[in-house]
């Protein structure tokens, strides 16, 4: 990959690496960029839902044509899951459906459960996702309490590792293919341990060759941060 010299671009095109905060949608960030750059032709290359934060890649101008390339990149995340509670959304914003005991589960069992998800596998997308069913986003249906059948999808988890345990919270890292849902992974880990779990924090740290530490806050978006890249 090569980058053009300097950050300042004569035309309003390129990519923006943005650090999306919790509480707003990916489309909200796109709207902010459109206003700050005074250009409509902006999209993002991979949704982060309101609970999630971290690296959001915006495509500006002619770079919107490169969507498929950027969307296909592998991604890296850090996350925190809470043991012993199952929610209807798979995250801390959902209604608690179950409470189960987790204190007798050893640290080694937790480590083995987290690491067991490495490799090629299939994953059922969570209801709280941006997938569409008959024109409606699944997460909108989920917030209404509607649950529909979803087919499993093939994914690859290249690395799934334990960082720390501070019961009932488990801190972990994931490096995975596109289409991997971290909230679903947290639920699957909880199910494997027999106590249930939900995700309380998701941070996207890496998209292909791009890293969160090179990103800017939405309020800092301007033309000087546009980057032109070739692959």
> What is the DSSP code string of the chain?
-EE-SSS--SSS-EEEEEEEPTTS-HHHHHHHHHHHHT-S-EEESS---TT-EEEEEEEEGGGGGGHHHHHTS-EEEEEEEEETEEESSSBTTSPEEEE---TTS-HHHHHHHHHTT-EEEEEPPPSSSS-EETTEEHHHHHHTT-------EEEEEEEEEEEEEETTEEEEEEEE-TT--HHHHHHHHHHHHTS-EEEEEEEEEEETTEEGGG-B-GGG--GGG-B-EE-
Average pLDDT over residues 172-185: 95
The CA distances from residue 72 to 131, 155, 208, in Å, are: 16, 12, 8
Report pLDDT for 127.
67
Task: Check residue 1 and give its pLDDT.
Answer: 43
Tell me which of 49 and 168 has the higher pLDDT. 168
Q: Each residue of 118-148: pLDDT tens digit? A: 999 999 887 666 676 666 767 676 666 777 6
Q: What are phi and psi of 119, to 5 degrees?
A: 115, 180
CA distances from residue 2 to 209, 228, 230 in whole angstroms, order as listed:
11, 9, 6
Mean pLDDT, residues 44-69 taken together: 95
Q: CA 177, 179, 185 angle in degrees (round to 5)?
A: 85
Please say whether the beta carbons of 51 and 202 come within 8 A.
yes
Q: Are strands 197-207 and 53-60 parallel, antiparallel or unpaired?
A: parallel
Is residue 49 annotated as a catalytic residue, yes or no? yes
Q: How many residues does the chain have?
A: 231
Domains in the chain: ranges and CATH: 2-72+208-230 (3.30.2350.10), 75-206 (3.30.2350.10)
- Asked if the peptide bond before residue 168 counts as cis, ω within 30 degrees of 0, the response is yes
Going by C-alpha positions, the residue among 114, 125, 55, 123 that lies closest to residue 90 is 125
- The catalytic residue among 19, 28, 31, 49 is 49
- Mean pLDDT to the nearest integer, 22-47: 95
Instruction: State the pTM of this model.
Output: 0.89
Q: What pLDDT, in 10s, does the model give residues 61-78?
A: 999 999 999 999 999 999
Tokens matching residue 206 = 């890496």
Flag the least confident range among 60-64, 147-151, 200-204: 147-151
């Amino acid at each position: 990959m090569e980058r053009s010299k300097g950050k300042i671009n004569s035309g309003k095109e390129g990519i923006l690496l943005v650090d999306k905060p919790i509480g707003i949608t990916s489309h909200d960030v796109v709207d902010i960029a459109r206003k700050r750059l005074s250009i409509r032709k902006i999209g993002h290359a991979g949704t982060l839902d309101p609970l999630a934060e971290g690296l959001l890649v915006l495509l500006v101008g002619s770079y919107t044509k490169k969507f498929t390339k950027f969307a296909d990149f592998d991604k890296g995340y850090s996350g925190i899951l809470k043991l012993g509670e199952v929610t209807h959304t798979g995250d801390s914003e959902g209604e608690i459906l179950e409470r189960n005991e987790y204190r007798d589960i050893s640290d080694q069992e937790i480590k083995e459960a987290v690491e067991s998800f490495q490799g090629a596998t299939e994953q059922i997308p969570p209801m709280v996702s941006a997938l569409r069913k008959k024109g409606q986003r699944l997460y909108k249906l989920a917030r209404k309490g509607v649950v529909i059948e979803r087919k499993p999808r093939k994914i690859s988890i290249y690395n799934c590792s334990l960082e720390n345990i501070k019961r009932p919270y488990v801190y972990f890292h994931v490096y995975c293919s596109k289409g991997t849902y971290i909230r679903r992974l947290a639920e699957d880990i909880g199910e494997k341990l027999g106590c249930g779990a939900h995700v309380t924090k998701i941070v996207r740290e890496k998209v292909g060759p791009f890293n969160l530490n090179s990103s800017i806050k939405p309020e800092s978006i301007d033309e000087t941060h546009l980057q032109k890249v070739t692959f």
